[in-house]
Amino acid sequence: MTRYCEFIIEEGEHEGQKCGVAYRTQYTPSKQNVKYCPEHDSCLLKSGLIRSKNVHTVVANQQAMLNWVKERMSIQPGRDKTLIKIQRDIRNLRQTIADKIDDIETSVALSADDDVISILTSLGILDEQSNLQFATQRNLITVQNQLRETNARLEHLESLQNLEEK
């Protein structure tokens, strides 16, 4: 005999509607009152709890939930220690990165050739001790790119001047 599942969907898009899945069952006195498809026939929920209004089953479900909470609470201190350690490592890494950036900025300033240093000093980007007056390396790269473009223009003008002289 073909029947349709009468299980009420508890959550999701079709909440409150019947399942409606067709399933086959034998027409015998023991199977006469079967209302649910094989998927919903089980009284176990996904969480492992039992769906029932029986007092003993409700107490068993409460005990299972209490055990689950106790298990989670026993795990939590270890998670807190791990979280504190990770936060400390992140702070140390940030400090290390900041130190490395400072080292790179100073090494770039020291390794620049004399022409770049004199131009940067004249522009007010470097002071007399060749210390950078700005925070990021990007500004230095921009200035170096502008210097290259200016040098390329000067070379082009010099080559044009040499052609005119000939």
Assess whether 52 and 107 both reside in one domain. Answer: yes
* Structural domain count, the chain: 3
Assess whether 52 and 9 both reside in one domain. Answer: no
Distance between CA atoms of residues 40 and 156, nearest Å: 84
With CA atoms as reference, report the closest residue to 131 among 146, 112, 150, 145.
112
- Single pTM value for the model: 0.33
Among 25-34, 49-58, 142-151, the least confident range:
25-34
Assess whether 50 and 107 both reside in one domain. Answer: yes
Domain that holds residue 160: 112-166
Assess whether 1 and 29 both reside in one domain. Answer: yes
pLDDT at 134 over 60: no
Assess whether 60 and 107 both reside in one domain. Answer: yes
Of 100 and 43, the one with more pLDDT:
100
Among 26-40, 51-65, 77-91, the least confident range:
26-40
Query: What pLDDT is attached to residue 132?
Result: 55
Query: What pLDDT is attached to residue 63?
Result: 92
Assess whether 23 and 66 both reside in one domain. Answer: no
Number of other residues whose CB lies within 10 A of the CB of residue 125: 17
Assess whether 98 and 87 both reside in one domain. Answer: yes
Assess whether 1 and 38 both reside in one domain. Answer: yes
Assess whether 137 and 96 both reside in one domain. Answer: no
Assess whether 118 and 91 both reside in one domain. Answer: no
* Pair type for strands 2-4 and 22-24: antiparallel
Assess whether 65 and 103 both reside in one domain. Answer: yes
According to DSSP, the residues that pair with 22 across neighbouring strands are: 4
Distance between CA atoms of residues 53 and 106, nearest Å: 74
Assess whether 119 and 62 both reside in one domain. Answer: no
Residue reference for tokens 């807190």: 80
- Mean pLDDT of the chain, nearest integer: 76
pLDDT in tens, 59-97: 988 999 999 899 888 888 888 888 888 888 888 888 888
Which amino acid, 88? R
* Sign (positive or negative) of CA dihedral 128, 131, 135, 136: positive
